[in-house]
Amino acid sequence: MIASSVPRRPAPGGGLAVLVVVTVLAALAAPHARAVRSQVAGGLPAITVPNRPAPPPATRQPSGLSFTNAAGCRPASDYRSPRLDRRVRTLLIAAADRHRIRVSCLRTGHSWFVRGTRRVSNHSLWRAVDVDRVDGHPVSPSNTAARRLALWIGRGRAGVQPSEVGSPWRFGGRPWFTDAGHQGHLHVGFPSPTQAGGTR
């Protein structure tokens, strides 16, 4: 005759022990339970919650860069957008390291087409910028700092080569140009394809 197996009974208090362990672990992990951790851990390093990482350097606004809504655009929020062409952001960071510049337009608020044409503006495609002040003064034919900046940008000295640099001055061939609509600001545009990537 084969004896029937007798089911094993759980050890007395087993469920209570598991509950105590789970409760202690939860108390140790709670971010506000510093006192509990110090008592239970007995001098071991406290468990800390890691801080949120800082934003990538590419998205931070340089100290020499400011924005204005005076032209009817909203460039500050556009600057933070991941859709902004990374060449525009690279240009602004490099230029702001040399001069104090104020951006009057990126995309929001700009007309879809180039004025007087049916050609889609590079502003509409997130790959152009307008600067209306350089070193604290409005862009104008008499602003020599703005003139130097326009030459510097057009020569690709910012590490990116634009296809359009509009300004009050007639420097010669492309990328520079001038007309009646660019006597009060610098316009810088880049060719296709758009290179979006705000945090790259």
pLDDT in tens, 4-35: 555 566 555 566 666 666 565 665 565 555 55
Give the separation between CA 170 and CA 168, rounded to whole angstroms.
Answer: 7
pLDDT in tens, 101-138: 999 999 999 999 988 778 899 999 999 999 999 999 99
Global model pTM greater than 0.75? no
Between the alpha carbon of residue 21 and those of residues 9, 33, 37, 183, the distances in Å are: 21, 16, 14, 74
Residue with tokens 């001098």: 43
pLDDT in tens, 54-91: 444 455 789 999 999 999 999 999 999 999 999 999 99
